[in-house]
Chain A
Amino acid sequence: MKILVAVKRVVDYNVKVRPKSDGTDVDIANAKMSINPFCEIAVEEAVRLKEKGVATEIVAVSMGPKQSQEQIRTAMALGADRGILVESDDALEPLAVAKCLKAIIANESPDLVIMGKQSIDGDNNQTGQMLGALTSMPQGTFASEVEIADGKAKVTREIDGGLQTVELTLPAIVTTDLRLNEPRYASLPNIMKAKKKPLDTTTPADLGVDTAPRVQTLKVEPPAERQAGIKVADVAELVDKLKNEAKVIS
């Protein structure tokens, strides 16, 4: 069984990002970049499936600038067998990414695609679902447990107010939630081995994908600073304010 895992290069979760002073974008010029945490969980799940003998090959794919190779290498150090970079310096929106993935799937014919439910920079939570629509593959999003047996994937999903289990016929798409697993770190020997694993590069154009943005960013600004609190004279005033100013009670 072949698993395709999508990994994205994003600003490291420890970095506090700021808007650029001209408000055109987020300033990430100098920031440490890492593999998106949800993608890391996706890689871990794929590696565990391989360790269990369920999967035989893991292919890590990323779309982004040349440096996204680093994140593919990270995935390979964690256990992916080879990598594919779809190189593009454009800001890729979920639809473009999903189209690239669709083209890769057409070439690779994986039995399972595992990807993060969202990336911590865009926070869109769209790519997996769009890919499902584009490929007509069944999808199990927000997975907290994945079981593969008899050509099917049993996916436990984290939904509002509980868990839902769905059964998907392979090939299928799974997007990972936070509690699916705890990703490992790469051992040093595996970091070295990853350097020798094959990594192919292609481009959206080669895959016949139009990456032109569909969304225009008008302005990026920091959230308003929190105002200082005030002291109220008595309960009556507090109730009044909750009713008429905060409008949280009626």
Chain B
Amino acid sequence: MAAPILNTRDLEFMLYELFDAEGMTQRPRYADHSRETFTAAMDTSRAVAEKYMLPIRQKVDTNEPTFDGKNVHMLPEIKTAVQAVIDSGLSSMTADYELGGMQMPLIAANATGAYLSAAGSTMMGYTGLTNANCNLIEAHGTQAQIDKWVAPMREGRFAGTMAMTEPGAGSGLADLTTSAVPQEDGTYRVSGNKIFISGGDHELNENIVHLVLARVKGAPKGVKGISLFIVPKFLVNEDGSLGERNDVWLAGLFHKMGGRGQTSCALSFGEKEGAVAYLVGEENQGLRYMFHMMNEARIMVGTAAAVTALTGYQYSLDYAKERPQGRLASCKDPHSAPVNIIKHPDVRRMLLAQKAYSEGAYALCLLGAQLADDERTAPTEEERKQAHLLLDFLTPIIKSWPSEYGPRANSLAIQVMGGHGYINEHPVEMFYRDNRLNPIHEGTYGVQSLDLLARKVPMGGMAGYQACLAEMEKTINEASTDAAVAGFAKELTEAIQTLKSTTEVLLGAMAEKNIDLALANSVKYLELFGNVVVAWIWLKQGIVASKALAGNPHEDDQKFYKGKLQALKYFYRFELPEINVWSKILCDLDDTTYEMQEEWF
């Protein structure tokens, strides 16, 4: 039997046992939903994934989109698959009913979309970005803009992008130069070059709505002078019909290492008289609005990384159970049959590591999704505020930990399969290439570490940091009363102690000493914090598994829960202790990298 795209039992564990997706249906916004509708949506998603995406997964990877100087060409099957996603309602699961959505809680939508992401890999980027684009305009645009742009995007007629990066301004957005000139009719004319625009051009949809960061003439330097504009590929008439072609052109496609389901474009705005643009919100507030989309996109990135890790794990697990090779050291008989490779402890180590990384990462993303739900729909203002605080704080970790450990998991999937993992007869090498983007886009690993240490930790009198520690504390208290997991609770307490003392040293150094030196090892701080958070997530899973086991469940469930406890143990034995090395480097304000000179390389 072929490997499942994802382990449905595990998704159900996370949704209904670890988190309370069903509890969401108590809230007015989600009142029409029930576990039954979530299950039905997941069944549909799996059906679409298996029918339209799995069969073309490799073809999409080996036939990247091409550009003939005028138009983009891609496999026609991609349009069929994307259209199937749109037609089945999977492209706007969380949107309002009035806008053609299904008003699903984000946590349930996340798990539903996971099948598509796992099977179609990066083809889902088109609808994913379109969704995020809609959410931004809904939050910050005028009603007229929502009617004009969001409605056709929700219907799947238009697609959306975010256009930020420029040849000279990637991670350093402050230096972007695309300009916008106000016109008498209230519109603007935008000129400039953007690169790495995912879904920047294609013919899957009638029109493409770019959200473009640009500088209005005379705006202040730096991030304070950035505004956000809607720039469509085709202008849209008052009656909603397509008008003239706007002055935005595809300059070329990038040839990517992976992620070939989605075009990555160089776009040229205003080669003629300037691209017609409509301001979103107020001038010079663009970056703030864009972060609305960015924060969502960051959780999307973490989720994509975690899901790609999950599916690679399932694939290599299936292979390891069926591939006979070699004998155990204890077996001296050359006439005996070779064992399946899963019988070798080192293969189990690699599978267990994948399980710990991928299930830990995905549970973290679902926590993020639940917090995003709470932020919007929790019953009290206080709960909503608290959820916002915690989500905002955790965002760099939700983005980064899965995108660092996801590719590691995929690398191990290749390793489990040996030479067969390295060739394209199996998809694990593609998973690795696809996943390798995730620590790069929507804020690199390094950028995230600076966001965490220099911004999120000190922000608001360390309110987010404290809220995060308080949540972990609650889990520790719960775990302490259960002998099966109390030992791990104690280890997590010690790890948090290490985190606290390291944070104190670093914040002190940032305030009193050379800030560049204090931040030089910020990535190690991100890893330290990330490992503590994922250790917490695993402890949460362990508590649930241990409780469930005490109820003497069905034999299959017993195995499932024991697997959870073993992965918990793996994480605490093999992964968590690494924080001690990192903590020492950080607390010493180690200057090895800081002092290294350009000329010494």
A residues contacting B by CB (< 8 A) are 29-30, 32, 70, 73-74, 77, 185-192, 195
Interface contact A187-B40, CB-CB below 8 Å:
no
Indicate whether B47 reaches chain A with its CB closer than 8 angstroms.
yes
Indicate whether B304 reaches chain A with its CB closer than 8 angstroms.
no
Interface contact B102-A192, CB-CB below 8 Å:
yes
Residues of A within 8 A of B41 (CB): 188, 191
Q: How far is the CA of A191 from the CA of B93 in the complex (A)?
A: 12
Given A187-B87, A188-B88, A189-B102, also A73-B557 (CB < 8 A):
no
Residue of B nearest to A190 (CB): B89
Interface contact B102-A185, CB-CB below 8 Å:
no
Interface contact B37-A186, CB-CB below 8 Å:
no
Interface contact A188-B44, CB-CB below 8 Å:
yes
Indicate whether B36 reaches chain A with its CB closer than 8 angstroms.
yes
Interface size class of B (residues with CB under 8 A): 20 to 34
Q: How far is the CA of A192 from the CA of B36 in the complex (A)?
A: 10
Residues of A within 8 A of B104 (CB): 188
Can you list the 10 inter-chain pairs with the closest CB atoms, starting with the nearest?
A188-B89, A30-B554, A185-B47, A188-B102, A191-B40, A187-B88, A185-B44, A187-B89, A189-B89, A29-B554
Indicate whether B90 reaches chain A with its CB closer than 8 angstroms.
yes
Residues of B within 8 A of A29 (CB): 554
- How distant is B53 from chain A, measured CB to nearest CB, in Å? 13
Given A185-B44, A186-B44, also A195-B556 (CB < 8 A):
no
Residues of B within 8 A of A30 (CB): 553-554, 556-557
- How distant is A120 from chain B, measured CB to nearest CB, in Å? 17
Interface contact A185-B557, CB-CB below 8 Å:
no
Q: How far is the CA of A70 from the CA of B40 in the complex (A)?
A: 9
Residues of B within 8 A of A188 (CB): 41, 44, 88-90, 93, 102, 104
Interface contact B44-A187, CB-CB below 8 Å:
yes
- How distant is B597 from chain A, measured CB to nearest CB, in Å? 58
For B34-45 the 0/1 string (1 means CB < 8 A from A) is 101101110110
Indicate whether B159 reaches chain A with its CB closer than 8 angstroms.
no
Indicate whether B350 reaches chain A with its CB closer than 8 angstroms.
no
Residues of A within 8 A of B51 (CB): 185
Indicate whether B32 reaches chain A with its CB closer than 8 angstroms.
yes
Residues of B within 8 A of A185 (CB): 43-44, 47-48, 51, 88
Residue of A nearest to B93 (CB): A188
Residues of B within 8 A of A74 (CB): 40
| Residues of A contacting B: mostly | helix
- How distant is B263 from chain A, measured CB to nearest CB, in Å? 27
Q: How far is the CA of A195 from the CA of B554 in the complex (A)?
A: 31
Residues of A within 8 A of B37 (CB): 191-192, 195
Residues of A within 8 A of B90 (CB): 188
- How distant is A201 from chain B, measured CB to nearest CB, in Å? 16
- How distant is A215 from chain B, measured CB to nearest CB, in Å? 27
Q: How far is the CA of A186 from the CA of B42 in the complex (A)?
A: 10
List B1-50 residues whose CB lies under 8 Å from chain A.
8, 32, 34, 36-37, 39-41, 43-44, 47-48
Interface contact B88-A192, CB-CB below 8 Å:
no
Residues of B within 8 A of A70 (CB): 36, 39
List B82-130 residues whose CB lies under 8 Å from chain A.
87-90, 93, 97, 100, 102, 104
Residues of A within 8 A of B8 (CB): 32
- How distant is B575 from chain A, measured CB to nearest CB, in Å? 31
Q: How far is the CA of A47 from the CA of B29 in the complex (A)?
A: 31
Interface contact B87-A186, CB-CB below 8 Å:
no
Q: Apart from A73-B40, A188-B89, A192-B97, what are 12 other A-B pairs with CB-CB below 8 Å? A: A30-B553, A70-B36, A73-B36, A185-B48, A185-B51, A187-B44, A187-B87, A187-B88, A188-B88, A188-B104, A189-B102, A195-B37
Q: How far is the CA of A73 from the CA of B38 in the complex (A)?
A: 13
Residues of A within 8 A of B32 (CB): 192, 195
Residue of B nearest to A196 (CB): B32
Residues of A within 8 A of B47 (CB): 185
Residues of A within 8 A of B553 (CB): 30
Residues of B within 8 A of A195 (CB): 32, 34, 37
Residue of A nearest to B34 (CB): A195
Residue of B nearest to A16 (CB): B1
Interface contact A77-B40, CB-CB below 8 Å:
yes
Q: How far is the CA of A186 from the CA of B41 in the complex (A)?
A: 8
Residue of B nearest to A70 (CB): B36
Residues of B within 8 A of A189 (CB): 89, 100, 102
- How distant is B102 from chain A, measured CB to nearest CB, in Å? 5
Residues of A within 8 A of B43 (CB): 185-186
Interface contact A191-B557, CB-CB below 8 Å:
no
Residues of A within 8 A of B556 (CB): 30
Taking a contact as CB atoms closer than 8 A, the residue among A32, A73, A191 that contacts B44 in the complex is A191
Q: How far is the CA of A73 from the CA of B34 in the complex (A)?
A: 12
Counting chain B CB atoms within 10 Å of each CB, which of A30, A77, A188 scores highest? Answer: A188
- How distant is A242 from chain B, measured CB to nearest CB, in Å? 27
Q: How far is the CA of A29 from the CA of B100 in the complex (A)?
A: 38
Q: How far is the CA of A188 from the CA of B39 in the complex (A)?
A: 11
Q: How far is the CA of A186 from the CA of B48 in the complex (A)?
A: 10
26 A-B pairs within 8 Å (CB atoms) are namely: A29-B554, A30-B553, A73-B40, A74-B40, A185-B51, A186-B40, A186-B43, A186-B44, A187-B88, A187-B89, A188-B44, A188-B88, A188-B90, A188-B93, A188-B102, A188-B104, A189-B89, A189-B102, A191-B40, A191-B41, A191-B44, A191-B102, A192-B32, A192-B102, A195-B34, A195-B37
- How distant is A92 from chain B, measured CB to nearest CB, in Å? 22
- How distant is A66 from chain B, measured CB to nearest CB, in Å? 12
Residue of A nearest to B46 (CB): A185
- How distant is B236 from chain A, measured CB to nearest CB, in Å? 25
Residues of B within 8 A of A192 (CB): 32, 37, 97, 102
Residues of B within 8 A of A191 (CB): 37, 40-41, 44, 102
Residue of B nearest to A67 (CB): B36
Q: How far is the CA of A51 from the CA of B417 in the complex (A)?
A: 49
Q: How far is the CA of A191 from the CA of B43 in the complex (A)?
A: 11
- How distant is B24 from chain A, measured CB to nearest CB, in Å? 15
Residue of A nearest to B43 (CB): A185
- How distant is B226 from chain A, measured CB to nearest CB, in Å? 37
Q: How far is the CA of A187 from the CA of B88 in the complex (A)?
A: 4
Q: How far is the CA of A186 from the CA of B89 in the complex (A)?
A: 10
Q: How far is the CA of A106 from the CA of B460 in the complex (A)?
A: 71
Residues of A within 8 A of B97 (CB): 192
Residue of B nearest to A69 (CB): B36
Residues of B within 8 A of A187 (CB): 44, 87-89
Q: How far is the CA of A192 from the CA of B556 in the complex (A)?
A: 32
Residues of B within 8 A of A190 (CB): 89
Residues of A within 8 A of B48 (CB): 185
- How distant is A31 from chain B, measured CB to nearest CB, in Å? 9
